[in-house]
Chain A
Amino acid sequence: DSGVTQTPKHLITATGQRVTLRCSPRSGDLSVYWYQQSLDQGLQFLIQYYNGEERAKGNILERFSAQQFPDLHSELNLSSLELGDSALYFCASSVAPSRETQYFGPGTRLLVL
């Protein structure tokens, strides 16, 4: 158990819908990262937050957005969902940004039908 929690574990929705994925980092960790793992593309870095502020951005679509709240939990919002958004979404946390060891949550499996 990494100490990072993600909810929900599974999510099934339809194209065009919007969903919110939630992540609670390990106690004491200030930085949160979001990743998408598709079948054919491995892990893709989406975005990183540190203490409420966006720190780095990867290949995050405009239809996706994220934020980190004052209590340090983070939410990833996915809108206008497409079939290709079906993937495993991981959240990770670390004490500080950059080169610190990241601890990954168990992931949220999203299926868009």
Chain B
Amino acid sequence: DQQVKQNSPSLSVQEGRISILNCDYTNSMFDYFLWYKKYPAEGPTFLISISSIKDKNEDGRFTVFLNKSAKHLSLHIVPSQPGDSAVYFCAAINTGNQFYFGTGTSLTVIP
């Protein structure tokens, strides 16, 4: 039972444009959400997080939006750069401190 879903396995974007990665969740007990980036042969790297009491968090080129009523999370990358090409995972933590990850979206930024 996949409680965190990333329905787009891949995404291609032109350099300089916006990348939007989406994530949906089913469990209303999730109260913290994170995005990780993963390059091949490396472990995931933390990008940005958001608490369920907020609806937006920004860090440089990265912004995460949370829509609790829709149980939807998105990561915006503006402007996209070739170095952003990687697999992006969204993750959620429930009140019992259990972590759930999505299956990832592979982003390709085309120069």
- Kindly identify which residue among A4, A98, A104 contacts B97, using a CB–CB cutoff of 8 Å: A98
CB A25 to nearest CB in B, in angstroms, measures: 13
Given A90-B43, A105-B43; A45-B32 close (CB under 8 Å): no
Q: Is the CB of B98 within 8 A of A57?
A: yes
9-residue interface stretch from B10-18, B68-76, B99-107: B99-107
CB A50 to nearest CB in B, in angstroms, measures: 10
Instruction: Name the interface residues of B67-102: CB closer than 8 Å to any CB of A.
Output: 89, 91, 93, 96-102
Given A43-B89, A98-B93, A99-B93; A2-B101 close (CB under 8 Å): no
Q: Is the CB of A42 within 8 A of B102?
A: yes
- Kindly identify which residue among B32, B43, B99 contacts A107, using a CB–CB cutoff of 8 Å: B43
Given A56-B96, A99-B32; A43-B101 close (CB under 8 Å): yes
Q: Is A16 an interface residue (CB 8 A)?
A: no
In the assembled complex, the Cα of A99 lies from the Cα of B86 at a distance in Å of 24
Contact flags B10-30 to A (C-beta < 8 A → 1, else 0): 000000000000000000000
Q: Is B108 an interface residue (CB 8 A)?
A: no
